[in-house]
Structure formats: structure tokens, C-alpha cells
Structure 1
Amino acid sequence: MGKTPKVALACAVLLVAGGGVAVVLANRSNSATSGAHKTLQLSTVTVVQKDLTTYTETTATLGFTTSTIISSPVAGTVTTIVTTGDTVDAGNIVATIDGNPVVALIGDIPGYRDLSTAASAGADIRQLEINLVSLGFDPNAKIHIDETYDSATAAAVTLWEDSLGLVGNGKVPQSEVVYIPGKVLVDTVSATVGGAAQSGSTLLTGRLAERRYLVTSTVAHGGVVDRFAAATTAVATGTVLFWDAGMPVVAIEGDANATPALERDLKIGSVGADVKVLEQMLSAGGFDPTNAMTIDDHFDAATSAAVTAWWQSLGMTVDTNAAIVVPAGSYVVVPSGLFVGNPTVADGTTLAGDATVLSLTRAAREVTTTAPIGDATFALGATIDVEFPDATIQPGIVVAVGNVATNTSNTPGATPSVPITIHVDTIPPAVDSFVQIPVTLRVVADSAPRAFVVPVSALVALAEGGYAIEVVTGKAPDGSDATKLIAVTPGLFANGFVAITGDQVQAGQNVVVPS
């Protein structure tokens, strides 16, 4: 019996230029498109069609954006106080001074006076009423959330004070409340039990873990609220936050301490600062294209026409023959830089009265880095992947590009850099205990969408030049796999894979790889 001759294949290792990856160099006499041969044992993978992407990575920092100081509203001896690591939220007792509780409520207006039915109207009363309603101390929905401290407000205050172990009398002394802009994580406690506190002295310092700006439904003092703006929507002048009894409730950026919300119906003949706020919104939204409206304190025919245009732009049917009336509660004035948070009631809820229905927020933690001036990768609104230490990856959006440039490299002539702020909606719990922590930004450097992709090890570098992949074509008579080489052109390399092109390349082909 004659011996079957053995064919020796001379192989070497070749580094693909620029890729730093090894492929097999085969000394084959057959061309790249012919020469089926037999292999007894073959390891194969499938050609897949998918996006292939490479990234440039840089280090950034995730950290809290705002530090908050809670000060004593009264002088006296500290008898109890929260401890480091505690959370302070609406309704929590921060400390007791001379045995009397100091309670945290949500709001941007600091307490500056005692409040009772004898108090003059003011935005601080509205702020108190929002908290009383939110905390459940108006069970019969008697409070109209406004700037007037009336008997319904006093009744809710009495319930609240009773819940604190006090003898409720319907009055709120300034010493009883501190207002905070949201949920606070306590970092440092400055006051000590038994020590003296002065009015205005620091009790504690903390991180703002959740910014809250509470928005209320007051259009109909009860009714259906629906069509809430999507969570994480950036709030600007003209953003419709929700619909209340069939009417839009819109945000207007401005000084909420001066005019926190529309407190009355507006119509032709109405005069006041609240009219001017409305007209500014209508003008900014482009609802007075002929500039017929004068932005002042007077609601006139031009104002009415602009309101009609606004409502029609929202899909409302407007009877142009009827007098236009903008109902109380149709707008709320909000600080700038907020996002829509989660509704506090379900979409389509029928309310029994005035209620808090939505919280506006700002990211408690942001990712910060620097980038050269004009770097389009970090342009405002750009999307950048953020990789956290637990290996989870979340999309981030550039929300701020600074205007103070510095030479961070200290190299003369180098392009100056500006600070960059990136917002990430979902931050993994694994980093919650860190005030600051490094993260990795993954910026797309190159991509090959819907490319034919194989492992780099599937590439065969031919002795005569060029590259091929070895494709299984079927079974040989002896039962082994029959293969052939087909010419390919390597493209993008990423994470051990390569994008390939070639006339005969198809998704689903079985390709030989080293075993």
C-alpha cells in the first residue's frame, strides 16, 4: 500500500499594521478564491453582521454638585441633633433647641417671620401650604394653595404640630422651621448637644442628594391632571408640565420668590406684574409674531391674541368670539436649570382639591472633566458613554460647557481647556457612598455600522499578499470539512474583532479559527 503524502504548510505570525494583533501567514500555492482542502478537526465561528465601534477613553469625576448648610432659626441650647450619615427630608426633625423641634420643609424661600392668620399675604405662606398638603395634613382638601394664611391653613398647621408632639395652635413661629432645597445627606454636624446655638449659626453641612421644586395643581381646585411632561425633560420657559382640568400648566423661568405662580384669572383689563410674566412667556414662545403686544402690566387685546395663538399651538380648540380668560394656576415660575422629575400622582388622577402633583429636580451628582476649546466631542448636547467602577455603562449628555479656559497641560502654546459637565440619568447604587469617584468616559473614535465581523484570529495573511478567511463549504468524501479561502479586506479592529469586506462574504458563513 502506498503512503499518502503529507503537505506541509509553512506558517508564521504577522502583526496587522496599526492593529497590533496577530494573524496567521499561510504559504499556500492556491489563490484566495480557490483550492478547497481538507481539515480533520476544525474550530469555526460564524460571520455576523453588527455595528463595530472603537472608543477613546478618558478619566472624569462623578461628584455631588451642591453643598447645603442648615442653620439654626433660633438661639438656644441644642438638646438633640441628627448625626453624620443621616438623611434630612421634608417633615424630618433636624434638631431640638431648648427642647423644641426644628423641622425641615422643602422650599427655596428662607423662613423670616412668624406665620399665622394675622400674617400678611406672601410667597412664604404658599410654600408652607405646599408642604402641609404634600405631607398629608390637609386630609379633606380644604386648603387653596395661595399666598393667604386662612383658617384651612391654620387647621392643617394644628394637625402637623400635633404630630410633632406639640400642642397645635395653628401658628408657625419662625423658630420651628428650616427650609431646604431637597433631600440632604448629612456630612458634618457643627453643633453639639448641650452646646449653644445662635440664630443663623450652622447646625450641619450636607450634600444635596435630591433637588426638589414642588409644582401644584390649582387650576380648578380639584379635577383631572394628566399629560405630564416626560421625566428628565429640561424645563424652560414655555415647557408644559402637565394639564389641569383640560388647561395647560406651563413653566416660566424667573424669580419664584417674587411671583411664584399665577394666583388669579387673567383677562382683558387685568393689570399687574403677573400679566407681564405671562406676556414675557408668550413673546419668548413666538406667539406674538407681529410684535403687536407690549410687554407690560396690562392684559389687552394683543395679549388675548397671543394667548389664543399659544393655546391653538397646543391643539386646543379656542372660541375666538368668547372672552379669553387665563385661569389661575396656568403658570408656575421656576428657577433655571431644572428637569422634570416624577409625578407624585398617576396620570389621569382626579384630585379632590389643590395638591402637589410634580417635582422638578436637578441632578444631585454630575460628571465633570475638561476638554480643549472647540472639541466637538464635548459640544453641548453631545452623548457620551460613562463607565462606572462597577463596569456598568450609562449614556451621559453634555449639559454645560464652561467659559473659563485654562491651560491644563501647562505646555506653552497648548490649546486651552474648558470645564465640561455631563448629566447621567441612571447612576449605579455601587457608588452611592462616595462623595467623589473617578469614572471613565468612552467617546466613539471610529465605527463600522452593520459590518461583517469575525474574530481577528480568523484572518489569514496570504504569502502572495492580501488577506482571506477560510470558509467551510461542506463535507469532503471522507466526512471531514471542506473549506476554501475567500479574499477579504480588513477594516476596523475592535476588542478582538475585525470588520471585513469582500465579494463573497455573507452573514452566517462558518469561518475557521485556530483551535
Structure 2
Amino acid sequence: MTGVSRRVRLRAAVIGGIVLLVAAVGVSAAVGFGGGGDRAEAGGAPPATATVTRQTLADLETTEGKLGYGATRTATARLSGTVTALPPTGSTVQRGRALYSVDNEKVVLLYGGLPAYRTLAPGMEGPDVAQFERNLRALGHTGFTVDDEYTGATADAVRDWQEDLGLPETGRVEAGRIVYADREVRVESHQADVGDLTQPGQAVLAYTGTSRLVTVELDVDDQRLAKRDAKVTVRLPDARTVAGTVSTIETVIQAGAAGENGQSGDAETKIEVTVAVADPKALAGFDRASADVVFTAAERPDVLTVPVSALLALAEGGYGVQLAEGEASRVVAVTTGLFADGRVEVTGADLTEGTTVVVPR
């Protein structure tokens, strides 16, 4: 067998051991590998090449968010009577102030995460007692110990508080007379009018927080994007961008749309993500507008990358890339990592930053 025949057979064997990755990465042109004669076909253009880069590779996903004041909550009546006062929409209600009034008696906003669920009176104990006493102390009332016990001293301080509010001085705290929220609230809308009759369970008003935020609803399949304290980028309607941080994540159940028969469809589970921005003033003037929120689904810092189209699927399994070395070229196997933005993380022998690889046409 002549030297020429051996070279031809060797070239054919190498080509036979490599197939192009067509379905997965869109490579559509065959390339040859040999001692150097394949860098350019006779009369044809030389193959395209790219450089191996070292970079932080990030898989970014964009979803639509709503600009506003975050999630909306509903204040529901716990007392029967007549609505006699409501704060204006858009106004702010702070701790110790009336959220609304029933029968001309105030229903007061306090701060805390545990809802009021029972009447507090001397002899009672529990975390709800401690939460209420913290609020009572914050409002300037003293003479009692802030703990989980509702004592006679607590009742005395409550009478002083009730006198300040113009409420009957009973020393007891009815659950229907207080509403707890995490912090001060902004009145979003009225669900009842002054003069309406109320009964337990009836919505009176809707409220939000006071900070300008971005709210995003994600499908459950995209829950991986929702990581507390994760950094995001918000693209505003005027094309400006502002940095943001995921502040809260909640699972919410949305009722299905009513069909022709009037019955609701299947409920849908969503992940509600609230994003706080570094500069809340940047959101001014965009109430209820839409904005794009860019999440980082995955990130790999300081890795070697090549264009996805440079990958070759090897017959024996796995992937490789064709190194361009002067007038010669050779294939080396690589291990792939993150795919993002048209590039892929790779590791392999003889693969370093600045290496030139062939990108099949």
C-alpha cells in the first residue's frame, strides 16, 4: 500500500468517527480533518474560526413584571355595623392610625405578621399577646412588661390607648378592632362605601405597601428563577434599566376563569415574586405599567467558552471541537457545561484561552 493510499484511508477513518451536531446545536456543514489539506477547499473560502474565550457565562431569562407597590391585600371586616370613615385612596396609614371606622369607632392598624384572631384580655398568654404589647409600647404606652402574658398592667395601658382613640375603655382588645400589616400601608382602593353595612368577612378596602416595587408572576415550572435576594435587572418602559433584588416569594392560587355555564375553571398555581429596586424613584410615574425583569437562571464565572456551533458530536459519544493550528487541524474531545447566549462552557486537553477553533459553515 502506498503512502498516499494510507493517508487517504486514515483521513476517511477520522471523518467516519465524527458526525456533526445538527439537531442539537444547528451545525450544518461537514468539515474535514487531516494533515493540513482541509483548511480550504480548492477554489473555496477558508473555514470560519472563533477564539476560545474565558468569561463569566450567564443564562438569562426575561419575563414581564408589573410596576406598582407590590402585592395587594384586603382588609376584611370583623364587626357588624356601618362603615363611617375610610381613608382616601393613595393615602398612607401608619401604626396606631385608623384604617377605617365602623359605627364611628376606629379599626386600628398595627404592625406584625400574626393576624388578630381572638379577643385579648387579662390572664391570656401567647405570641399574639407579645405582638400586641410590642405595638402598645411602640405607641408610647408603658407600665407593663412586653412578654407573652396579658396582665392587669397591660389592661391599664390598653385603657389609656383606648382613651386616646376615643374607644370604650374596656382594657380588652377585640380582634375586630385591629388589623395587622408588616409595615405602614398605602390604600389602593375601596371595596365598600361610607354608609355601607358591614358584616364579618366583607371586604372593606384593599391596600399595598408604600415602596415602589416590581411584581412578577412565574409559572411553577419557572420556580428555579425565584431565589430570595437574587439580583435581577429591570428594563423600564422608557428603555432605562435599574438594578433589583428579589425580596419576597409567595405561592398563590388563582381561580380559573368562568366558563359559559358561569362555573369557574380549574385553579392555577403561580409563584408571585416581588422585586425591590435599588432606586425606587426610577419607578415614579410608571404605576401599573409593565417592565421586563431579567433573571439569572444559572451562572458560571471564569470558564472557557466556544460558540455552540463549534461543537462536533463524536461517534463514540460526547462532543469535540476542531483546533486550527496553522495549516493543520485536529479534533479534541471536550466536556460541556452551561449553554447560554450562543456559547457553551467547555473543558478539554490542549484547550486554553485564545485557542482558535473551526466553526463549521
TM-score, normalised relative to structure 1: 0.38
3-state SS, counterpart of residue 131 of structure 1? helix
Determine if contact 1:125/1:146 at 8 Å carries over to the other structure: yes
Rounded to whole Å, the distance in 1 between the matches of 2:352 and 2:268 is 46
Rounded to whole Å, the distance in 2 between the matches of 1:74 and 1:460 is 71
The alpha-carbon distance between structure 1 residues 191 and 48, as it changes in their structure 2 partners (threshold 3 A), is same
The amino acid that maps onto 2:177 is V
Match of 1:108 in 2: 115
Match of 1:205 in 2: 205
Determine if contact 1:121/1:148 at 8 Å carries over to the other structure: yes
How far residue 85 of structure 1 moved from its aligned partner, in angstroms, is: 3.2
Q: What percentage of aligned pairs have identical amino acids?
A: 22
The alpha-carbon distance between structure 1 residues 156 and 388, as it changes in their structure 2 partners (threshold 3 A), is same
The alpha-carbon distance between structure 1 residues 504 and 76, as it changes in their structure 2 partners (threshold 3 A), is closer
Match of 1:369 in 2: 219
Determine if contact 2:324/2:330 at 8 Å carries over to the other structure: no
Match of 2:160 in 1: 158
The alpha-carbon distance between structure 1 residues 499 and 62, as it changes in their structure 2 partners (threshold 3 A), is same
Alignment match of 1:142 (pick from 138, 141, 144): 144
Rounded to whole Å, the distance in 2 between the matches of 1:171 and 1:94 is 21
Deviations 1:395-430 (A, max 9, x none): 79998799xxx9xxxxxxxxxx99655475754465
The alpha-carbon distance between structure 1 residues 470 and 88, as it changes in their structure 2 partners (threshold 3 A), is farther
Rounded to whole Å, the distance in 2 between the matches of 1:470 and 1:61 is 49
How far residue 151 of structure 1 moved from its aligned partner, in angstroms, is: 3.3
Q: Spell out the pairing of 1:229-308 with structure 2 (5 A cutoff).
A: none
The amino acid that maps onto 1:452 is L
Determine if contact 1:24/1:460 at 8 Å carries over to the other structure: no
Q: Spell out the pairing of 1:4-153 with structure 2 (5 A cutoff).
A: 17-18=22-23, 19-20=25-26, 30=36, 47-49=52-54, 52=57, 67-71=73-77, 73=79, 75-76=81-82, 78=84, 80-96=85-101, 100-106=105-111, 107-110=114-117, 120-122=122-124, 128-138=132-142, 142-151=144-153, 153=155
The alpha-carbon distance between structure 1 residues 144 and 70, as it changes in their structure 2 partners (threshold 3 A), is same
3-state SS, counterpart of residue 160 of structure 2? helix
Determine if contact 1:51/1:451 at 8 Å carries over to the other structure: yes
How far residue 150 of structure 1 moved from its aligned partner, in angstroms, is: 1.8
3-state SS, counterpart of residue 350 of structure 2? coil
Q: Spell out the pairing of 1:399-478 with structure 2 (5 A cutoff).
A: 422=271, 426-428=275-277, 433-434=287-288, 452-455=304-307, 468-470=322-324
How far residue 133 of structure 1 moved from its aligned partner, in angstroms, is: 2.0
3-state SS, counterpart of residue 351 of structure 2? coil
The alpha-carbon distance between structure 1 residues 439 and 98, as it changes in their structure 2 partners (threshold 3 A), is same
Higher RCO (CA < 8 A, seq sep 6+): 2
Rounded to whole Å, the distance in 1 between the matches of 2:76 and 2:168 is 25
Determine if contact 2:65/2:215 at 8 Å carries over to the other structure: no
Determine if contact 2:323/2:358 at 8 Å carries over to the other structure: yes
Determine if contact 1:460/1:470 at 8 Å carries over to the other structure: no
Cα-Cα RMSD: 6.1
3-state SS, counterpart of residue 196 of structure 1? coil
Rounded to whole Å, the distance in 1 between the matches of 2:130 and 2:87 is 28
Structure 1 position 189 matched with structure 2 position 190 = yes
- Alignment coverage as a number of residue pairs: 286
Rounded to whole Å, the distance in 2 between the matches of 1:395 and 1:182 is 17
How far residue 498 of structure 1 moved from its aligned partner, in angstroms, is: 4.3
The alpha-carbon distance between structure 1 residues 449 and 397, as it changes in their structure 2 partners (threshold 3 A), is farther
